[in-house]
Amino acid sequence: MTSEVGILGMLMKKLQQEIAVVVKEHWQLDTREVDVSCPRELGHGDFTTNIALKVAARWGIPTSQVTGILVGELAQRPFIRKNFTNVIIAEPGFVNFFLSPQSIWRELSRGKYNPYRGRKVIVEYSAPNIAKPMHVGHLRSTIIGQALVNIYRALGARVVALNYLGDWGTQFGKLLVAYQKWGSKVQLKHTPIDEMLRIYVKFHKEAKIHPELEDEAKAAFKNLEQGNKKLLQTWKLFREYSLREFNDLYKRLGVKFDYYEGESQYQKSLRKVLNELVAKKIITINEDGSQVVIFDDEKITPMLVQKSDGASLYATRDLAALKARLKKYHPTEMLYVVANQQALYFDQLFTCVKLAGFSNPKVKLTHVKFGLVLGEEGKKMSTREGEIIKLEELLNKAVDLAWRTVEKKNPELGRREKAKVAEAVGVGAVKYNDLSQNRLTDITFNWRRMMSFEGNSGPYLQYTYVRLKSILRKAGKLKSLRFNADILIELDVNLLHKLIQYQDSLLRAAKENSPHLVANYLYELANLVNSYYHEAPVLKAVEPLRSLRLLLVQRTALVLKSGLEVLGIKVVERM
Ligand code: ARG
């Protein structure tokens, strides 16, 4: 494995080693006992250690004596801030360190770090079912998945962005029967998903009165699985047309896949997978001929891998897909961005993979799960048949609301420009709403909060960026000058300390597969820079302070832009 630390991590390690030397020399404590971490609050420095408590406990000496010696020794180091009276604060037992502004600036200017170089990550996300409208669950998977793809890439990993279409299964038997009976070729061409939904809903209604339809559907799926040409042709249309509609949405959301897979493509390898499970003796055949994998852990219920009528199953296709991906991409890890509801299923799947020895145990498999989307009153935004929230309409509404604000705020912009800004703000608001909330919990969908230009929202962050750009435009060409930390005041330095945390937020987000850690960081940065330029004059400061502050503003704008782009949110130059 590569060293998976960013800028802060590297400096932290350096500090940890320096502390260890002092501690060993004075108190004979082992290197490994020295813990260094990052304090939560900006005013508490970049790093903190509790080693003084350990030393004091071990030797029965006052902590103040230990911290005194540590402070005295470490203030000599160039990357620690010099005037340490208010710099290295000893809280009860803790010693907090501030990096020197000079060294922060040097690190910030150093360019790209690639702490994830050497890793290859497959991110499977979106995975909608063809012939059906995508629902909010798929939208979440799409947005979170793309953010993870971007985050891992920003850290230097190689990423395979993968869509896995639900394009196979018994429901296609139903759809084929319904299409034969009630389908319209013209409608299918014009509004494919609406038409497929219409006949699918009709099938269910009719099947209540004519249960024999279900048998027809089963037979049709069986024929499809056996390669019936005519059925395959119609199925291909379903797939192609659905994909066309999905792609419109992806384009609008700035979502891009490297590969599209479908459940259908593993038909041929299912037999082999089943045979391997049999050979490993982990399959049980039921009396009706169906086959299941049973697990030792009772919490994991048996997984059905073959139906009694011989039809293939979701789980078996997933096993085959997983094997194929390992072989094709040689990943170091695989993420499946799929809703909470499938948590048990992924437990089954991954346990089965382990039992069957399909995967090298070093390849990490993760179900990146997420909660529901709750509507305004905490009600589930569901997709019961007939009551579907169209994602396109949802985005349109957001863009509409954004348009109204833009009209008010920027009457001077041309129509085209306004439309561009409204699209970026509206779509950005929907995405940010999702990405700023912890994925593990159910999230709320509140139009007012989401579209607001204040508070933790997409528009607020985009607007902050615009304000910074406006300052920079007014300033004209920036002078290149030597970074001189001595003229900076506390406000400037606080901003510097915040800026250096950006990469760390990416790393933490990747470790937990939680994009909201990046969103939260950006929100904190935006708050800080907003109060910064209110309290510290930038354009009106005297040189060389003016130029230095402009550099800080420029750097902050850059971080905001990169961060938003990592979340898949566009910035605009004016709004
Ligand atoms: N198409 C499935 C659904 O909509 C999700 C697929 C998730 N991925 C997987 N490898 N099973 O429920």
The DSSP secondary structure of 138-200, one letter per residue, reads HHHHHHHHHHHHHHHHHTT-EEEEEEEEB--STHHHHHHHHHHHH--HHHHHHSHHHHHHHHH
Find the catalytic residue in 54, 132, 469, 570.
132
Res 80: pLDDT: 79
497 is known as an active-site residue: no
> In terms of Cα–Cα distance, which of 1, 28, 34, 22 is closest to 68?
22
434 Cα distance to chain centroid: 10
Res 120: pLDDT: 98
Distance (angstroms) between ligand 1 centre and the Cα of 7 equals 37
Query: What atom in ligand 1 is closest to the CA of residue 322?
Result: 10
Q: How far apart are CA 214 and CA 39, in angstroms?
A: 61
Res 383: pLDDT: 46
Res 137: pLDDT: 87
Query: What is the CB-side half-sphere exposure of residue 273 using CA atoms within 13 A?
Result: 27
130 lines ligand 1 (CB under 6 A): no
52 lines ligand 1 (CB under 6 A): no
CB contact at 8 A, 353 and 273: no
Res 310: pLDDT: 82
Res 83: pLDDT: 46
Helix, strand or coil for residue 121?
strand
Pocket test of ligand 1: the residue of 261, 342, 369 to mutate, having most ligand atoms within 8 Å of its CB, is: 342
Pocket test of ligand 1: the residue of 243, 326, 338 to mutate, having most ligand atoms within 8 Å of its CB, is: 338
- Closest CA to ligand 1's atom 4: 128
Q: What is the largest CA-CA distance in the chain?
A: 88
Res 520: pLDDT: 97
> In terms of Cα–Cα distance, which of 163, 154, 125, 3 is closest to 563?
154
β-pairing verdict for 291-293 and 283-285: antiparallel
Q: How far apart are CA 2 and CA 293, in angstroms?
A: 37
172 lines ligand 1 (CB under 6 A): no
138 is known as an active-site residue: yes
Provide the residue type at 176 as one letter.
L
The mean pLDDT values, 10 residues at a time, for the chain of 575 residues are: 70 91 93 88 84 92 88 82 48 81 88 90 97 89 98 97 96 96 95 94 96 96 95 96 95 97 94 95 93 94 92 93 97 97 97 95 96 75 57 93 94 95 98 96 90 96 97 91 87 93 95 98 98 95 94 97 98 93
Res 426: pLDDT: 98
6 lines ligand 1 (CB under 6 A): no
Res 388: pLDDT: 64
Q: How far apart are CA 550 and CA 546, in angstroms?
A: 6
Res 84: pLDDT: 39
Distance (angstroms) between ligand 1 centre and the Cα of 567 equals 23
Burial zone of 430 (CB within 10 Å; 0-12 exposed, 13-18 middle, 19+ buried):
buried
197 lines ligand 1 (CB under 6 A): no
508 Cα distance to chain centroid: 11
132 is known as an active-site residue: yes
- Closest CA to ligand 1's atom 5: 127
Distance (angstroms) between ligand 1 centre and the Cα of 185 equals 28
